[in-house]
Amino acid sequence: MKYKYRYILILLCIIILGIFVRLRGLLRPSSHLHMQSSCVLRNMYVPSGNNLLCDKNQTDLRQFLPSDQLDAIIKSRAKEYKEHQLRMKTNTDILIAPANSPLQYPVRGFSVAPLQKSLIPGLALYTQKRDIYKVSLSVEKGVLSVDGAVYRKQVNGQGERKLTISSSWLKQVNDLLSRVTYTSTIYHIRTSDLVYFSFKDSEVVFPVIIRRPTVPVLFNPGNDINSQVTITTKTFLRYNKLKVLIKSIRKVYPKIKIIIADDNPNPENLSGDNIEQYIMPPAQGWFAGRNLAVSQVTTKYFLWVDDDFVFLDETRIERFVEIMEANPELDVVGGAVSGEQYYFSLEYIEDDEGGCLRRFQGRHHKPLPGFEGCFFVDVIVNFFLARTDAVRRVGFDPFLKRVGHTEFFIDGLGKLLVVSCKDLSIGHQIHDAHKEYDVYRNEGECEKNKKYAHHFYKNYLNCIEY
């Protein structure tokens, strides 16, 4: 009997121990568990040193890929890149008009809507007198016609891919050329065609840009700063810092809207006029929170600030807006944090087998004319004013949970025109030791490796140098 009780006691101990382990797992932040368990990279590829784009100072991104999946990943990436080129037409040939041609034609800028008839501007023939004048035009993705052609004998191929115009009268030829139209026969919202235009031994080629007209997205700026700008931020485990930030904002801008993306595990209610707090699942990360905050902006501009910043007497959003309004082509204007103007330029070398990217601190492209201390750059600090619609078109990659800043500007390279200005300043609160926050904030080796592997596929990069 005593053995029976002993077995029951052992069984109860095992059950209690299992319950304890289970409760301990449940009490631990779920996102932390996810980050710890999912960050496993084994059997990584060892580069052979034959990556021609990467030098010894750069990080070869192939080393962060599983060696047994490398070929499949590269094959899949190449397929996706080819489709990306087809969508974006990044490999469109550059056409140069030949010198002294008898043919007049639009070198560039001729754009049509898909399936819609459009007059080709500027077609003409200039040549010496002869018995017969004959010109030909041909296309691949559409048909050509001559509108209102009463001289039927002079026009051959009406409504077809190849059109020929001939006459013994040069003025008549040019009259017919002035009425030639192009109609695409395929439906595509972003593609192009080529028109081959010839006379005797002379032939020219010019592009037809086929684009579906886009509908403008405009923001009514209103009459004051409160209707022009929304302040956005994300907070995690730093409510004490956030409250200092809000208090400093309200001293200068008592009515401006503040949008907060909050992925705290134990959210606190942040009350106050014109404050919108959006609660997320715990520890969703930096970029996921940015996406959420920006998605709720209804003003023309938003000002991004970290939750541990503090507005100073000289922090003036109006100055940001002034620069933006004076330069409508700008998308993002960054400032200085605690007097330090951090900015970077990016150098991107593209190749069919994968690109290479370098980041250079303190290097700019050119000064912004008329604004001393402002420079065109590629990457700025987390204190910037941005056009809402421009940033939404790029977006923030939610894969990046812990460290992600330059990565947004990598995605925006060639899409966002960025400026950094010295006299736009904000303060930074004193950094207090916060072990729980630092566990999430600091990027470990495993997370960094996963980010590199992510760059390899998503950005079609072979190597990177921060």
Where do the structural domains in the chain lie, given as residue ranges? 103-211, 225-465
pLDDT in tens, 144-187: 999 986 667 899 999 999 999 999 999 999 999 999 999 999 99
pLDDT of residue 9: 60
Contact 256, 274 (CB under 8 A): yes
Rounded to 10 degrees, the C-alpha dihedral 179/184/189/195 comes to: -70
Note the pLDDT of residue 155. 95
Among candidates 101, 165, 105, which has minimal Cα distance to 127? 101
Fold annotation for 103-211: Immunoglobulin-like (2.60.40)
Long-range contacts of 139-142, Cβ-Cβ distance < 8 Å, separation of 24 or more: 139/182, 139/193, 139/194, 139/195, 139/196, 139/208, 140/193, 140/194, 141/184, 141/185, 141/186, 141/191, 141/193, 141/210, 142/182, 142/183, 142/184, 142/185, 142/186, 142/193, 142/208
> What sign does the dihedral 61-464-394-400 (CA atoms) show?
positive
Dihedral sign (CA 160, 166, 169, 173) = positive
CB 371 within 8 A of CB 323: yes
pLDDT recorded at residue 442: 67
The confidence score (pLDDT) of residue 36 equals: 38
Low-confidence ranges of the chain (pLDDT < 50): 21-37
CB-CB contact of 457 with 350 (8 Å)? no
Please state, in angstroms and rounded to a whole number, the distance separating the CA atoms of residues 218 and 383.
24
Q: 229 pairs with which residues across the strands?
A: 301
DSSP β-ladder status, 275-279 and 258-262 = parallel
Note the pLDDT tens digit of each residue in 79-95.
878 877 776 665 555 66
Task: Look at strands 202-211 and 111-112 and give their pairing.
Answer: parallel
CATH H-level superfamily of 225-465: Spore Coat Polysaccharide Biosynthesis Protein SpsA; Chain A (3.90.550.10)
How far is it, in rounded angstroms, from Cα 420 to Cα 418? 7
Question: Which one, of 309, 466, 360, 331, lies nearest residue 403 by Cα?
Answer: 466
Q: Do 103-211 and 225-465 agree at the fold level?
A: no
Angle between helices 70-88 and 445-458 (to 10 degrees): 50
Q: What predicted TM-score, i.e. pTM, was given to this entire model?
A: 0.80
The Cα 174–Cα 371 span in angstroms is 50
Q: Given the structure tokens 């568990």, which residue do they identify?
A: 33
In this prediction, residue 317 carries a pLDDT of 97
Residue 125: other Cβ atoms inside 10 A: 18
Residue 466 pLDDT: 84
